[in-house]
Amino acid sequence: MKTIVKFLICFCILVVPCELLARDLKIGFASCLTGPAAFYGAYMKKGVDLAIDEVNAKGGIKGNKFVPLWEDDKLNPTVAVSIIKKFISVDKVPVVVGSMTATALAMVPVADKENTVFITSLSTHPDIAKMSKWSFRNCINTVPSAMAVVDFAYKQQGKRKLGLLYFQNESTRRIAEGVKKRFEDLGGTVVAMEMLPEEGVDYRSPIIKIKNANPDSVYVCALARQAGLAMKQLVESGVQLQFYTDPNESPIWLETAGSAANGAFYGYLDIQKSYLDKYKAKYNEEGEIWGALYYDTMHTLAIAIEKGGYTAEGIRKALIEIKDYPGVTGPITYGPERDVVKPPIIKMVKDGKFVKYQ
Amino acid sequence: MFLQLVVNGVVSGAIYALMAVGFALIYNSTHIFHLAHGAVFTLSAYTLFFAVKTLGLPLGLAILTAICLSILLGLAIEAWGYRPLRERKVSLATFLISSLGIFIVVENGLILLFGAIPKLITGEPLKAYRLGPLIVTQLHLAVIVCCLLIFPSLQFFLTRTRIGKMVRALSDHPELATVLGLQTDRIYLFITILGAALAGVAGIFVALDTGVTSVMGWDAVLVAAVAVIIGGVGYLPGAGIAALMVGLIQNLSVLRVSAQWQGTITFGILILFLIIRPKGIFGKIISSRGA
């Protein structure tokens, strides 16, 4: 009996504090790992993993290490809702990291109801961060980015007749509407506006209608792979015009379009070379924007957990207080709007490489 | 623009026809709703990618490899997926579920092996030729030429050769074919080889044109199934002609509606036929045979 009591006391003294000391910092990640945007899911994972490895290698946050829980939402809102509910009720995470607009829009109301932080770096919907006090976003502002490109096309390149191809997706459709309005407000004409179907990869029919309208340039509002396919098929259909597109600086764009992408302009963010070198060293491929954004997001989450503790309310308050964090995609301030603002730059594809427009 | 849309429609339709005729071959004789046909299509595409990009094989050899592997998968599905069920005389619904299960396993197996990110074989715009106002790529010409060789050969094979006639006999009346002493198991194997080869060829063309994704098989097999039903179950050329029609309608429809409706239009045509003419376009020919 005495032995058992001694053993129990020793157990309590030694084991329990260790359990309290080393906590797993579980974070839920709902990403489009398969489906039409699987490449974005892959980029997201690479950026997140790079950041988590760095934080954990330095000993984690006060001795506690990040444990990422990944789930595949297949870019399906119904699946995404099940995933976030599972993260909250089963895994009891204080923060869920989401991906694109389609699924983010479905997950934010759940996060709001369950008082859990939701953060994304792939959703470009203007209202994502406004929907709930628990919703945060650190992303490129694709609509202002597209506006910058449209201004560039009209004012500096003298384009007046725009052909607009847009992918059937929540965010790209909205960008396309913004592009049309801006170009027409400036005084130009959108001579044709055709949708690329979400299913299938044969875009030749809408491309023929664009070609028939005789534009002097074409703006492609689409995800990276779809934009690449569209440009390739545009060139194959005999459309040799100036192309503009969304921030699609990803390897999959060039792999799909090949030389068809040469000379295309797009809005983007400046990514620090140090990040690109680290990415290349770990993954043996060129880094890109979405991984970089998630990399920054994870580092800001680490700061928030350190300052506010591993609780939803603590993380929420601490994220809002982050000011001018030196991210690899630019300075990050969430502010009371919970939405990071990043001014875009114009870049182009030159001989198969992404370069800043000078 | 109209002529270009017609050309594009013919090319799309030709690829659909390859899938549809392969599907019809198997469906007409076995009455199995062979969803796994899409898995054969996808495997062919991935094999081509692997052979060209990873193994560095010349294109001709890679194409041959892809077709061979498609046939092997088709045979495996028939031998281990369908034959045991046939021996147990299960219902057609069981065959359907089995086929769907095989499709899902193969699709996800390919994701495990290759990852979910789409793969490219030709990362460059294809060479295109100007024929008057029309623009046709090298690949599209290849599709048309191949189909002009394949379909007449298939028709000759089915009408003029002994095995071809046995295939048709089995399609028309499986019970009578068995009574007459035809070795049905061997004929099923033969049908499987033909069907899988056609799916393999279709997969190769799509892979070369727009790349390889794990989900490509589903769209392909659905369009094939729609074409078989619209063409009239039991009449092989009907499936091919209906597939060509679907390709043309899909492409020409952009003259009136946005491209996002192409999928809806395909199934809309199917529903229309099921309501107005469920036997399909060539339903009369099938009924006149008394089959």
Question: Mind listing the pLDDT tens digit for each residue in A97-136?
Answer: 999 988 999 999 999 999 999 999 998 888 889 999 999 9
Q: Is B125 in Cβ contact with A259 (below 8 Å)?
A: yes
Q: How far is B96 from chain A (nearest CA, A)?
A: 24
Domain membership flag for residue B5: no
Interatomic CA distance for residues A246 and A143, integer angstroms: 9
pLDDT of residue A356: 84
Q: Phi/psi at A165 (nearest 5 deg)?
A: -110, 130
Count the helices and strands in chain A (H runs, E runs): 12, 14
If one counts the domains in chain B, the total is 1
Q: What is the mean pLDDT of chain A?
A: 89
pLDDT of residue A314: 94
Contact A166, A147 (CB under 8 A): no
Confidence bin at B286 (pLDDT 50/70/90): low
Q: Is A260 in Cβ contact with B214 (below 8 Å)?
A: no
Nearest CB among B5, B126, B210 relative to A205 is that of B5
Which of 141-200 (A) contact B at CB < 8 A?
A: 168, 194-200
Residues of A in contact with B251 (CB under 8 A): 204-205
Flag the least confident range among A98-112, A151-165, B274-288: B274-288
Q: Is A196 in Cβ contact with B1 (below 8 Å)?
A: no
Flag the least confident range among A112-121, A242-251, B256-265: B256-265
Q: How far is A37 from chain B (nearest CA, A)?
A: 8
Nearest CB among A38, A194, A258 relative to B117 is that of A38
Domain membership flag for residue B171: yes
Q: What percent of chain A has pLDDT over 70?
A: 95
Nearest CB among A201, A211, A254 relative to B210 is that of A201
User: A63 touching B, CB under 8 A?
Assistant: no
Confidence bin at A153 (pLDDT 50/70/90): very high
Q: What percent of chain B has pLDDT over 90?
A: 38
Q: Is A195 in Cβ contact with B1 (below 8 Å)?
A: no
Instruction: Return the residue in B49, B117, B256 with the most chain A beta carbons within 10 A, the one to mutate for interface testing.
Output: B117
Residue type, A167: F
Domain membership flag for residue B248: no
Confidence bin at A294 (pLDDT 50/70/90): very high
Look at the block and give the residue holding tokens 């049908």: B191
The residues near A179 (Cβ < 8 Å, ≥ 6 apart) are: A146, A147, A150, A162, A164, A190, A219, A221
Residues of A in contact with B210 (CB under 8 A): 201-202, 229
Domain membership flag for residue B260: no
User: Does B182 or A82 have the greater pLDDT score?
Assistant: A82
- pTM for the full predicted model: 0.78
User: Nearest residue on chain A to B208, judged by CA atoms?
Assistant: A256
User: Does A135 or A223 have the greater pLDDT score?
Assistant: A135
pLDDT of residue A1: 65
User: Nearest residue on chain B to A74, judged by CA atoms?
Assistant: B116
Confidence bin at B62 (pLDDT 50/70/90): very high
Contact B16, B247 (CB under 8 A): yes
Q: Is A258 in Cβ contact with B125 (below 8 Å)?
A: yes
Rounded average pLDDT over A213-236 = 92
Residues of B in contact with A195 (CB under 8 A): 258-260
Among positive and negative, which fits the CA dihedral A311, A314, A317, A319? negative
Tens-place pLDDT, residues B90-134:
888 999 999 999 999 999 999 999 988 788 887 778 888 888 888
Q: Is B124 in Cβ contact with A258 (below 8 Å)?
A: yes
Instruction: Return the residue in A196, A205, A255 with the most chain B beta carbons within 10 A, the one to mutate for interface testing.
Output: A205
Domain membership flag for residue B58: yes
Q: How far is B27 from chain A (nearest CA, A)?
A: 25
pLDDT of residue A184: 94
User: A351 touching B, CB under 8 A?
Assistant: no
pLDDT of residue B128: 84
Confidence bin at B52 (pLDDT 50/70/90): very high
pLDDT of residue A197: 80
pLDDT of residue B272: 87
Query: CA of B134: how far to CAs of A204, B1, B7, B43, B205, in Å?
Result: 13, 8, 8, 33, 21
pLDDT of residue B291: 38
Domain membership flag for residue B220: no
Q: What is the mean pLDDT of chain B?
A: 87
Residue B11 pLDDT more than 60?
yes
Residues forming a β-bridge with A96: A28, A118
pLDDT of residue B289: 47
Tens-place pLDDT, residues A340-357:
988 888 999 998 888 888
Residues of A in contact with B260 (CB under 8 A): 168, 195, 197-198
Tens-place pLDDT, residues A16-65:
554 455 678 999 999 999 887 888 999 999 999 999 999 999 988 988 99
User: Nearest residue on chain A to B4, judged by CA atoms?
Assistant: A208
Query: CA of A128: how far to CAs of A117, A289, B174, B229, in Å?
Result: 13, 19, 60, 45
Nearest CB among B117, B135, B258 relative to A252 is that of B117
Domain membership flag for residue B157: yes
User: Does B92 or A84 have the greater pLDDT score?
Assistant: A84
pLDDT of residue A6: 73
Tokens found for residue A248 = 């699609």
The beta strands (E) that lie in chain B are given as: 128-131, 134-137
Residues of B in contact with A38 (CB under 8 A): 116-118
Confidence bin at A12 (pLDDT 50/70/90): low
Interatomic CA distance for residues A47 and A341, integer angstroms: 20
Nearest CB among B5, B118, B262 relative to A200 is that of B262
User: A241 touching B, CB under 8 A?
Assistant: no
pLDDT of residue A22: 65
CB pairs under 8 A between A and B: 102
Interatomic CA distance for residues A243 and A231, integer angstroms: 8
pLDDT of residue A10: 63
Q: Is A229 in Cβ contact with B117 (below 8 Å)?
A: no
Confidence bin at B290 (pLDDT 50/70/90): very low
pLDDT of residue A287: 87
The residues near A143 (Cβ < 8 Å, ≥ 6 apart) are: A124, A126, A174, A175, A178
Query: CA of A55: how far to CAs of A16, A25, A67, A302, in Å?
Result: 25, 11, 11, 8
Domain membership flag for residue B267: no
Rounded average pLDDT over A275-304 = 93
Tokens found for residue A49 = 């993993």
Q: Is A38 in Cβ contact with B123 (below 8 Å)?
A: no
Flag the least confident range among A205-214, B71-80, B248-257: B248-257
User: A240 touching B, CB under 8 A?
Assistant: no
pLDDT of residue B168: 82
Q: Is A258 in Cβ contact with B117 (below 8 Å)?
A: no
- Domains of chain A plus CATH, in order, are 7-140+272-332 (3.40.50.2300), 142-268 (3.40.50.2300)
Q: Which domain holds residue B37?
A: 12-215
Rounded average pLDDT over A202-217 = 90
Rounded average pLDDT over B129-151 = 89
